[in-house]
Amino acid sequence: MRIAYALAAALVCTVSLNAAVAQDAPTENDYYPMASFEIPDGINLEVGGIEWFNNRLAVSTRRGDIYLIENALADDVTAAKFSPFAIGLHEVLGLAQMDGWLYATQRCEVSRLNDNDHDGRADIIETVCDQWGITGDYHEYAMGSKFDRDGNIWVVLCLTGSFSSNAPFRGWCVRVTPDGEMIPTCSGIRSPGGIAANHLGDMFFTDNQGPWNGTCSLKHLKPGSFQGHPGGNVWYDRTSVIGPRPVEPNSGSRMMVEAERVPELVPPAIYFPYKKMGQSAAGIACDTTGGKFGPFEHQLFVADQTFSTVMRCCLEQVNGYYQGACFPFREGFGSGSLSVDFTPDGSLFVGGTNRGWGSRGNKPFALDRLRWSGGVPFEIHEMRAKPDGFELTFTEPVDAKTAGNPESYSLSTYTYIYQASYGSPEVDHTTPTIDRLDISSDGKSVRLFVTGLQKGHVHELHADGVRSEKGLPLLHKEAYYTLNFIPGE
Amino acid sequence: MRRAFGPVGRALILTVAAVFCDGSLAVAAHPVVPGVERLLAEHSDGAAKPDQMLTAGRVLLSELNCLSCHKVEGRAGQGLNTKPAPVLDAVGGRVQREWLAKYLMSPHEVKPGTTMPDVLGGLSDAQRKADAEALLHLLASTGQAVEAMGDTSAVQRGEKLFHEIGCVACHDPQGADAKPIADSVPLGAIEKKYTLPTLIAFLKNPLVVRHGGRMPNLRLNDQQARDIACFFFRDVKIATNLSYAYYEGSWDTLPDFQTLKPVTAGLSSGFDIGVRKRNDGFGLVFSGFLHIPSDGDFRLFLGSDDGSRLQIDGQDVIVNDGIHPHSVKDGRIKLAKGVHPVRVEYFEQGGEESLTVEIEGSGLPRQPLASIATITEKVPESEDTADAFVLDERLVTQGRAVFAARGCANCHQLSLNSPALTSTLKAKPLAELTDLGAGCLSDAASAGVPHYRLSGVQKAVLLSAIAALRRNDVAADAAPQAVTAETLSRFNCFACHVRDQAGGVTAARDGFFTTTMKEMGDEGRIPPHLDGVGDKLTESYLRDTLNNGVDDRPYMLTTMPQFGGDNVGHLLAAFRAVDLKTEATIPEPSLPESKLKAVGRQLVGEKGLSCIKCHTFGPYKATGIQSIDLQRMSRRLREDWFFRYMLNPQVYRPGTRMPAPWPFGQATIRDVLDGNVEQQMLAVWLYLTDGDKAGVPEGLTSGSIILAADTEPRIYRNFIEGVSPRGIAVAYPENVNLCFDAEELDLALIWENGFIDAAKHWVGRGPGFQRPYGDNLLSLVRGAPFAELDSLEAGWPTEHARELGYRFHGYRFNEKRQPVFLYSFDDVTISDAIIPASHGDATAAFNRTLTLGSRSGRRLWFRAAAGSKIELADGVFVVDDHLRLKVDATAASEPVVRQNGGRFELLVPVDVSPVAGEIHLRYQW
């Protein structure tokens, strides 16, 4: 009811009453209300993996436990019932289910668990694949995906620390086949935060700011690719299923300069500018709910652990590479957002912890659920690159006067130093000009004609002045497009 | 008069003068030997005790190095020592030339109180000058001391450290308000004698150049040595030796300074960023010329916050660019002897700022690079060219002769790339000296005789000691009691320690003995008494303490320095000869040792005697005051002493805060070991003998997360100490635990009682391997569990299990939810069920069943155990007196104990076929 009221209020107001609009402007919670789970005493739910399993919500934790939650979709989530499915595994950061088995990616292996006697607890914990190395360094996390179309689980393996790889395939993505074989798939990984496929089945992961990563980003795990951090490249000697070792990137260079030198190097599809769009990119979930979660079908939702947020990403392919934009989506999760997953009813579950790394959400661990209220927020739906600018699509028709006025927008660009030392400031700043705007006849799309597009730069757009036909400002006014390639160039 | 004696000193001299009536009042600057000063002061009540006088005289004989010239024959010389004087091999590289020049001419004026005699004192002025000049050239030929500016920020730290770490036990306190103390070993004007880098090097380990150990090694780290040196050099400024250009701007990396216009430029002393005008957003470029003394490989160190670059001869040697906290990078370069342009670029964006540039190699100790830099290519002329020192080889040669002839070589080692110079000065043996008052003991200096400027009382006690030597009535003096008394006096151990009612911290120095733990009272700040020390400490620990120093009392800010085994090592035997007792009642253990240790751990913990309230335990802080580390006790203390001490600590350490754990010989905890005092004490002692391998006592791990089995087993997969990173630990309700290694496919560890403290992994990021929490931890045989052996002489495979084709398949739970481990190699599948055995007897036990299947038929061997000893007793294999293994297998033949690679192995044959083979084992430990 509250949403309906807010929208009605907005409709009554006119654009000239900006202050009133601002006061009554709808919030994230109006469109995507959050329910927070009450977690029973004695259970430490540092969520590392989420999966819908046998009509329950399976949640795995950094402490190595897997709980099943009954009634996890009920309106009143305090009634949630937790029961232990398996206790004492090794930091489970990935759950997937198939044929009645629950697959868990632990630090040391991918395992599958089954409850043969149906007493609610796993009675066999079978090792599917433990072919990667592990030294005992705490950084050596392993994060597992859901199944791909061939029945593989993809596992991204953090380096030993930030810089080097002390055991086989640390710093790599490997595929684990249904037979338990391990196929080294991509090199160049530093410190992953999450892994998931988009609706087309292409796999993505998030990597975190640090050596060879100027800022956090979303990267496409194209088989055979090098993802940018050469620390793990020693292991090319151990595999023949991937090409020869790529040449070393030059430190202190720029990503797109090196991408031309190093053919295997796939540039990050989307940068999350540091401290603007979080600080620790984490779990990924693709909206394949068929509209149950609102107007963002097929977009990727990416958690940020430090900011306790979930961001939204739209992707397109240019020159055969993924690139796209990220937008703020929802803030205010209870702890550091680490794992995200959709359930079949169209809910987005977000769980996490701030153990070891602080977060804005101040609980030590939390499990929250987002649902779509049914109202359509006024948002930039997608941002697409054009040879001469960008195309913005909106979730609602725009007000032609404000959306057609170049002063409603500001656009700046920058990139990052691609270097062996830790992170990078934003560098090479430019300010392109928006020469002209075209609004489509249905009012849901705006073309920006821009002089001064910068290949390889983040294009940071603020559309503060744009109003919807109904007079509402954008729920989130900013967009960050990673323009690795300019179409047609 | 150069020194102002405090009231104590004055009183001492007056009293002594009254006793000896020799009018030596005016001689304020007699050589100071603190042990002698103390001996005389302690008996300044007029009732001089002959034995103390004799000791004082003998100590003087050794500390003034009389015996280096005057030999003592036979029994009389026993126990008498010489004091090695400073090694002069590289004195020119250590001591400033100007200071040497003055010191050689008049040692007593330059360093009042020095024990070095003036060997040129009685010569004609001309001869004296000529000899001193020759000696100066000789010493200067050994090197030149490099100079460098101190660091103002270090001065305060250095002042604090100097006054608390123990320097003031022997030396005067320093600083504007400091009052001199009578028996202080003189320091002279240290900042005129050394340079900053050479004082740092000296302080780092004085024993290198002063073998004698009177200045012991305080084991300072680099920063501490530098801090103390900077304190002494706080007012010393050295000349500018670099040009600088100063820039302002905000950069993330080093800008191209060539294209920027400096705000100011000027000259600086070293790479001194103090020339900046603001603290953020500035850059500096230093330039100058390096004077490389000889061809060689050099290592350079460039530290900065933020970025910096070092260039020599126009080439980058180190680039330490970007924004970062102070971090040091190093680089190597080959440089030819001669002049090389140097340039250092630096910028600071925000926050802290720092810049350090150092060089090491080819004869240069690690030192500031600026110490060999100049502004222009030419070495600047000395301001007064008439004074410029030019090394004269002729004078060096002359100096060698003087060094030999004047007796310098009797005390000092000076090698000059060849055997040390030997003395040509012949002195009579002590016994043959006739007119004792006329030679070294004479008030007036005379030609060819070292002049000591002895005080009257010093002469008196020397004479009495010499007389005793001549009478040969000194047999008793080689007795251990006399050895300890003399040695403690010679090395001024008495400045800190009491033994046999002698010595101890004096009132004047008391305030300099401080602690971080005020609640401990004097025990926390005053070094321990040494009565019975040879009884208390183990031989090895006492030896280590004497030879190397210790730091077992971290709360005590005065450190126990290193005196060196050559100097004080003989105290070990002397202490033990006098002190050692073996009279405690140590019972036979009433339980197996491992059990008793577990009880000891319980007693040490908070629910027992609560030792951990006041004693630290390795890295764990005590819950109250932080007294001596329990993990070190068994290394320090003799077992016999421990058993006596624990019954009544006050007897051995009067006034100690240590309570009697068993007051009046009674146990306060009666439900442990039936309240048997001796057994409880033994339990604690045995537990402590595990040292840093002992389990953490209860009550220390306040943030601990102790996991335990409830009614079912509890699994914990994580990084377990002693196992690969693929450990799977299991706790059983029966109070036994195991860790299976899923990397090596073997049962790695078994233990009893507490399972695991998960806090290591579950708090923060959770780095590291965790040791099992419980007791009686046993590491089992590691490596591939099975092998096919061609013969029993064949070696056991040494490869990792994975390399041999083993695969881990996980585990399933049986009806009691006990995990059964599943693994395989080749076509052999193995299920491994390890089940706690029935409980009740005193030892822990597991029953283990290995079930093997194979499509083919084959004979395998299972390696059940390995150790330095395996014995078969009553059908049980006993491994290293700890593990008892009972074996039963479905094979035609029996288990075999064999030797392989220097140890014994217990091998169990098993025949595997489609009909499963089984091995049954019972582990008791």
A63 to B765: CB separation less than 8 angstroms, yes or no: no
Please tell me the predicted confidence (pLDDT) of residue B384: 43
Classify residue B297 as exposed, middle or buried by CB count within 10 Å of its CB (0-12, 13-18, 19+).
Answer: exposed
Q: Which of B343, B358, B374 is the last residue in one of the domains? A: B374
Of A403, A410, A422, whose CA–CA distance to A466 is shortest?
A403
A125 to B766: CB separation less than 8 angstroms, yes or no: no
Q: Are B616 and B525 in a shared domain?
A: no
In a domain, B573, yes or no: yes
Minimum CA–CA partner of B320 in chain A? A421
Query: pLDDT digits over B75-101, tens only?
Result: 666 777 888 899 999 999 899 999 999
In a domain, B94, yes or no: no
B810: which chain A residues are within 8 Å (Cβ-Cβ)? 111, 124-127
Q: Which residue in A64, A109, A356 is closest to B765 by CB distance?
A: A356
A421: which chain B residues are within 8 Å (Cβ-Cβ)? 322, 324
Query: Does position A146 have pLDDT exceeding 90, yes or no?
Result: yes
Minimum CA–CA partner of B322 in chain A? A421
Which residue numbers of B have CB closer than 8 Å to A's CBs?
252, 322, 324, 714-719, 725-726, 742, 758, 762-769, 807-813, 822
Q: What is the mean pLDDT of residues A293-313?
A: 97
Q: Which residue in B714, B769, B812 is closest to A123 by CB distance?
A: B812
Query: pLDDT digits over A375-417, tens only?
Result: 999 999 999 999 999 999 999 999 999 999 999 999 999 999 9
Chain mean pLDDT for chain B = 88
Q: Are B487 and B454 in a shared domain?
A: no
Query: Does position B15 have pLDDT exceeding 60, yes or no?
Result: no
CB of A14 closer than 8 Å to CB of A34? no
In a domain, B166, yes or no: yes
Question: Which CATH number covers residue B809?
Answer: 2.70.98
Q: What is the 3-state secondary structure (H, E, C) of B839-899?
A: CCCCCCEEEEEEEEEECCCEEEEEEEEEECCEEEECCEEEECCCEEEEEEECCCCCCEEEE
For residues B810 and B819, what is the distance between their CA atoms, to the nearest angstrom?
A: 9
B718 to A124: CB separation less than 8 angstroms, yes or no: no
Domain borders along chain A are 32-370, 379-483
For residues B440 and B458, what is the distance between their CA atoms, to the nearest angstrom?
A: 12
Query: pLDDT digits over A21-74, tens only?
Result: 444 789 999 999 999 999 999 999 999 999 999 999 999 999 999 999 999 999
A124 to B252: CB separation less than 8 angstroms, yes or no: no
For residues B812 and B817, what is the distance between their CA atoms, to the nearest angstrom?
A: 8
Query: pLDDT digits over B361-386, tens only?
Result: 876 766 778 878 888 887 655 444 44
For residues B33 and B52, what is the distance between their CA atoms, to the nearest angstrom?
A: 15
Number of domains in chain B: 6
The conformation of residue B479, written as its DSSP 8-state character, comes to S
Q: Which residue in B717, B742, B766 is closest to A88 by CB distance?
A: B717
Query: Does position A129 have pLDDT exceeding 90, yes or no?
Result: yes
Query: pLDDT digits over A429-450, tens only?
Result: 999 999 999 999 999 999 999 9
Q: Which residue in B324, B762, B765 is closest to A63 by CB distance?
A: B762
For residues B911 and B374, what is the distance between their CA atoms, to the nearest angstrom?
A: 83
Of A60, A320, A64, whose CA–CA distance to B719 is shortest?
A64
In a domain, B347, yes or no: yes
**Chain A, window 86-125: residues with a beta carbon less than 8 angstroms from a chain B beta carbon:** 87-91, 106-109, 111, 123-125
Minimum CA–CA partner of B814 in chain A? A123
For residues B585 and B643, what is the distance between their CA atoms, to the nearest angstrom?
A: 7
Closest-CA distance, A52 to chain B, in angstroms, reads 23
Give residue A61's Cα distance to chain centre: 19
Query: Does position B42 have pLDDT exceeding 70, yes or no?
Result: no
In a domain, B30, yes or no: yes
Closest-CA distance, A296 to chain B, in angstroms, reads 35
A87 to B715: CB separation less than 8 angstroms, yes or no: yes
Please tell me the predicted confidence (pLDDT) of residue B76: 65
- Report yes or no: A42 at the B interface, CB cutoff 8 Å: no
H helix runs in B435-585, sequence order? 456-471, 480-490, 507-510, 533-536, 539-548, 565-568, 570-579
CB of B787 closer than 8 Å to CB of B861? yes
Q: What is the pTM of this model?
A: 0.67
Q: How confident is the model at residue B477 (pLDDT cuts 50, 70, 90)?
A: low
Closest-CA distance, A57 to chain B, in angstroms, reads 23
User: Chain B interface, mutation test: which of A61, A92, A125, A131, most B Cβ atoms within 10 Å?
Assistant: A125
CB of A64 closer than 8 Å to CB of A47? no
For residues B517 and B505, what is the distance between their CA atoms, to the nearest angstrom?
A: 19
For residues A390 and A323, what is the distance between their CA atoms, to the nearest angstrom?
A: 13
Q: Are B598 and B574 in a shared domain?
A: no
For residues A18 and A468, what is the distance between their CA atoms, to the nearest angstrom?
A: 13
B724-730: long-range contacts at Cβ-Cβ below 8 A with a sequence spacing of 24 or more?
B725/A107, B725/A108, B725/A134, B725/A135, B725/A136, B726/A108, B726/A109, B726/A130, B726/A134, B726/B808, B728/B811, B728/B819, B728/B821, B729/B755, B729/B756, B729/B772, B730/B818, B730/B819, B730/B834
Q: Which helix (DSSP H) or strand (DSSP E) does residue B672 occupy?
A: none
- Considering the domain delimited by A32-370, tell me its CATH architecture: 6 Propeller (2.120)
CB of A359 closer than 8 Å to CB of A305? yes
- Report yes or no: A126 at the B interface, CB cutoff 8 Å: yes
Q: Which of B212, B232, B252 is the last residue in one of the domains? A: B232
Helix (H, G, I), strand (E, B) or coil at B478: helix
Q: Are B899 and B802 in a shared domain?
A: yes
B322 to A421: CB separation less than 8 angstroms, yes or no: yes
Q: Are B370 and B311 in a shared domain?
A: yes
Our CA angle for B645, B648, B650, nearest 5°, is 95
Across the A:B interface, residue pairs with CB atoms under 8 Å apart total 72
Q: Are B766 and B899 in a shared domain?
A: yes
A281, A285, A291, A297: CA torsion to nearest 10: 60
Q: How confident is the model at residue B765 (pLDDT cuts 50, 70, 90)?
A: confident
Query: pLDDT digits over B814-840, tens only?
Result: 999 999 999 999 999 999 999 999 755
Q: Are B253 and B368 in a shared domain?
A: yes
Please tell me the predicted confidence (pLDDT) of residue B575: 96
A135: which chain B residues are within 8 Å (Cβ-Cβ)? 725
A87 to B808: CB separation less than 8 angstroms, yes or no: no
Q: What is the mean pLDDT of residues A71-91?
A: 90
Closest-CA distance, A123 to chain B, in angstroms, reads 5
Q: For residue B643, what are the contacts with CB-CB under 8 A and spacing of at least 6?
A: B584, B585, B586, B678, B681, B685
B717 to A90: CB separation less than 8 angstroms, yes or no: yes
For residues A270 and A278, what is the distance between their CA atoms, to the nearest angstrom?
A: 13
Tell me which residue range forms the domain holding B602: 593-693
Give CA separation, A455 vs A315, A387, A459, A481, A484, in Å: 17, 11, 10, 11, 5
B725 to A125: CB separation less than 8 angstroms, yes or no: no
Give CA separation, B70 vs B40, B61, B82, B439, in Å: 25, 10, 11, 12
Least confident of B34-43, B338-347, B871-880: B34-43
Q: Which residue in A91, A126, A138 is closest to B809 by CB distance?
A: A126
Please tell me the predicted confidence (pLDDT) of residue A11: 39
Q: Are B544 and B447 in a shared domain?
A: no
For residues B529 and B655, what is the distance between their CA atoms, to the nearest angstrom?
A: 12
In a domain, B132, yes or no: no
Q: Which residue has the tokens 């300072």?
A: B220
B719 to A136: CB separation less than 8 angstroms, yes or no: yes
User: Chain A interface, mutation test: which of B717, B809, B820, most A Cβ atoms within 10 Å?
Assistant: B717
Query: Does position A320 have pLDDT exceeding 80, yes or no?
Result: yes
CB of A218 closer than 8 Å to CB of A305? no
A125 to B811: CB separation less than 8 angstroms, yes or no: yes
B725 to A135: CB separation less than 8 angstroms, yes or no: yes
Query: Does position B44 have pLDDT exceeding 90, yes or no?
Result: no
For residues A179 and A152, what is the distance between their CA atoms, to the nearest angstrom?
A: 9
* CATH of range A379-483; options 1.10.600.10, 3.90.950.20, 1.10.10.10, 2.60.40.1220: 2.60.40.1220
CB of A65 closer than 8 Å to CB of A84? yes
Q: Are B434 and B569 in a shared domain?
A: no
Query: pLDDT digits over B152-202, tens only?
Result: 778 888 999 999 999 999 999 998 888 899 889 999 999 999 998 899 999
Can you tell me the ipTM of this complex? Answer: 0.94
Query: pLDDT digits over B217-255, tens only?
Result: 999 988 899 899 999 999 887 778 899 999 999 999 999
Q: Are B550 and B487 in a shared domain?
A: yes
Closest-CA distance, A235 to chain B, in angstroms, reads 17
B809: which chain A residues are within 8 Å (Cβ-Cβ)? 126-127
Question: Which CATH number covers residue B654?
Answer: 1.10.760.10
Q: What is the mean pLDDT of residues B347-360?
A: 88
B768: which chain A residues are within 8 Å (Cβ-Cβ)? 136, 138
A91: which chain B residues are within 8 Å (Cβ-Cβ)? 718
Q: For residue A456, what are the contacts with CB-CB under 8 A and spacing of at least 6?
A: A254, A255, A256, A257, A267, A415, A483, A484
Query: Does position B739 have pLDDT exceeding 50, yes or no?
Result: yes
- Report yes or no: A355 at the B interface, CB cutoff 8 Å: yes
Minimum CA–CA partner of A63 in chain B? B762
Q: Which of B693, B726, B758 is the last residue in one of the domains? A: B693
- For the record, the structure tokens of B779 come out as 């590491």
- Report yes or no: A357 at the B interface, CB cutoff 8 Å: yes
Q: How confident is the model at residue B48 (pLDDT cuts 50, 70, 90)?
A: low
Q: Are B609 and B727 in a shared domain?
A: no
Q: Are B200 and B262 in a shared domain?
A: no
In a domain, B110, yes or no: no
In a domain, B123, yes or no: no
Query: Does position B896 have pLDDT exceeding 50, yes or no?
Result: yes
Beta bridge partners, B332, equal: B299
Give CA separation, A210 vs A214, A215, A346, A371, in Å: 6, 7, 35, 34
A124 to B742: CB separation less than 8 angstroms, yes or no: no
Q: B746-784 burial string, b = 16+ CB within 10 Å, else e?
A: bbbbbbbbbbbbbbbbbeeebeebbbbbbbbbbebbbbb
Q: Which residue in B717, B808, B810 is closest to A64 by CB distance?
A: B717
Strands A380-386 and A34-36: unpaired
Q: Which residue has the tokens 């377990």?
A: B720
For residues B361 and B370, what is the distance between their CA atoms, to the nearest angstrom?
A: 15
